[in-house]
Chains A and B, each alone.
Chain A
């Protein structure tokens, strides 16, 4: 089945450690996105990528980094510079060109920093 896979689903880390969240899609989508969601809040855009080897900052990119070396993969690193990293992280993808279709989301990764 085509879809987006995020891992791990739950992650606990100590303060000051970098953490990398995985996002893989087999939908052949060019565009991929990372969102952060805090309790009771909407989704806020961290980074997005419209093509391999290119990505842009979203609204809250500070303390995060990404790479897009393959079309299928868009990992997110939460660095020690992120002041409040505990949150629910969502990855999404969509087509580009012509009618681009809807966003497909993964099931999310819940990061807790102790």
Chain B
């Protein structure tokens, strides 16, 4: 199963944009790029996903490299509630094994 690599931690100031990177150099053509975030003692929640094109939703934007070997989650204006662990994972259309890495811990400073 394809793996993802993320920085262990990142910091941001409140109301500033945040760019969270993810590398997935072994991605296959049928892998979707998904992002989830997790607050302490809670289950992860879905943030956004994409296949080839950049995506926007009410929570965030996802920028996908042309070769699909990397992607960036963009939070346009970070708030204190965005402080969480963010996971980038690859989910295949065959719904097989879904493996998480250690994610990026985002700290938002007031």
Residues of A within 8 A of B (CB): 30-31, 33, 35, 41-45, 48, 50, 56, 58-59, 88, 90, 92, 94-100, 102-108, 110
Cα distance A110–B98 in the bound complex, in angstroms: 21
Nearest 4 CB-CB pairings of A with B: A105-B43, A42-B102, A96-B95, A43-B100
Q: Pick from B32, B45, B96, B103: contact of A105, CB below 8 A.
A: B45
Binds A, one of B17-25, B61-69, B70-78, B86-94: B86-94
Q: A42-B102, A100-B95 are in contact. List 12 more A-B contacts (CB 8 A).
A: A42-B100, A43-B87, A48-B96, A56-B97, A58-B97, A90-B44, A92-B43, A92-B98, A98-B93, A103-B36, A103-B44, A107-B42
Chain B binding surface, main DSSP class: loop
Known contacts A42-B100, A103-B34: does B94 contact A96 (CB below 8 Å)?
yes
Distance A43 CA – B41 CA, assembled complex (angstroms): 12
Residues of A within 8 A of B102 (CB): 41-42
Q: Are A43 and B44 in contact (CB under 8 A)?
A: yes
